[in-house]
Amino acid sequence: MRIALGVTYRGTQYAGWQSQPQGRTVQDHLEAALARIAGEPVRTICAGRTDAGVHGLNQVVHFDTGVQREPFSWVRGPNTYLPPDISVQWCRPVPDSFHARNAALGRRYAYIVLESPVRPALEAGSVGWVFRPLDGEAMRDAAALLIGEHDFSAFRSSECQAKSPVKTLREIAISRHGAYWRFEFEASAFLHHMVRNLMGCLIAVGAGTRTPQWLAEVLAARDRRLAAPTFSPDGLYFLGPRYDAGFGLPEQVASLAWLPGDR
């Protein structure tokens, strides 16, 4: 049978999602915990691979197993063996047609930025940081120029393995909550480092070092060298994928309400 899980994790201590030989990834820890419950090796496929330092709030994975367990056992069991900063949130049996990555209709990320003259302490690793005041209207004007289907080569990592740089960016919502800014992105899919590279450019516009129109010029040029440096991974959260409602998978988990400006 095929099982889908929702997983929340703090990415600070891990070398990203995807399994690596040294075993310091979220996938390695999750699969090891699942194997202890299943009594056999378990291989997971995720909705969206996250980089080192990036957090996941409702990462969705699926795996196949012949082992019969109650859904709550696939939640509480692995959580017994997982580190405290990784937690399975929910479990649903799904049809064989479900695929955590290929069935996703869209993906959502949020980036949280602290605007403060001094660096964060309590929030270190959980937020990005800017010491210059940001202009929200300028950033929204710039963001509006990115919406739609475009070639996002200018915001693509040199290590990106995506077959095409053309993606549909459906929404960028920017809001302020006290000293914190929330940037929320939704797209059909994202290129490697795409959100962090967009963030670097939006922050440059917000800080007044670039104009909103500059971002349209960078997009049209399709040249990564013209864009701003890649922004820190610290404040980046994978909010989760969107699927056809027929699969009945939760889009909300408790940790989503922990972020400033939860919608």
The Cα–Cα gap between 184 and 26 comes to: 23
Q: What is the pLDDT of residues 111-151, one digit of tens each?
A: 999 999 999 999 999 999 999 999 999 999 999 999 999 99
Tens digits of residue pLDDT in 200-210: 999 999 999 99
Q: Where in the chain is the domain with CATH 3.30.70.580?
A: 2-103
Q: What is the pLDDT at residue 261? A: 83
Angle at 160 between CA 211 and CA 151, to 5 degrees: 45
User: Does residue 161 have a pLDDT over 90?
Assistant: no
Flag whether pLDDT at 195 surpasses 70: yes
The pTM (predicted TM-score) of the whole model is: 0.95
Helix (H, G, I), strand (E, B) or coil at 85: coil
pLDDT recorded at residue 160: 83
Considering the domain 2-103, what is its CATH architecture? 2-Layer Sandwich (3.30)
Assess whether pLDDT exceeds 80 at residue 44: yes
Q: Which residue has the tokens 């994975």?
A: 61
Of 28, 51, 223, 262, the catalytic one is 51
pLDDT at 242 over 70: yes
Residue pair 170/99 in contact (Cβ under 8 Å)? The answer is no
Instruction: Taking residues 75-90, report their average pLDDT.
Output: 97
Contact of 226 with 204, CB cutoff 8 Å = no
Burial group, residue 199, by CB count within 10 angstroms (0-12, 13-18, 19+): buried
| Banded pLDDT at 158 (limits 50, 70, 90) | confident
Mean pLDDT, all residues of the chain = 95
- Tell whether the model's pLDDT for residue 39 goes beyond 80: yes
CATH fold for domain 106-237: Alpha-Beta Plaits (3.30.70)
Residue 148 has a pLDDT of 97
Q: How far apart, in whole angstroms, are the C-alpha atoms of residue 40 and residue 122?
A: 40
* pLDDT value at residue 224: 94
Q: Are 183 and 202 in contact (CB under 8 A)?
A: yes
CA distances to 7, 47, 201 from 131, in Å: 33, 34, 16
State the first-to-last Cα distance of the chain, in angstroms, to the nearest integer: 34
Distance separating alpha carbons of residues 88 and 91, to the nearest angstrom: 8
- List for the chain the helix, strand, coil content (%; round to 5): 25, 30, 45
Q: How confident is the model at residue 159 (pLDDT cuts 50, 70, 90)?
A: confident
Sequential DSSP letters for 121-171? STTTTTSEEE-S---HHHHHHHHHTT-EEEE-GGG--TT---S-SEEEEEE
The verdict on whether 262 is a catalytic residue reads no
Judged against a pLDDT cut of 90, whether residue 178 lies above it is answered with: yes
pLDDT of residue 151: 96
263 pLDDT higher than 80: no
Residue ranges, CATH 3.30.70.660, the chain:
106-237
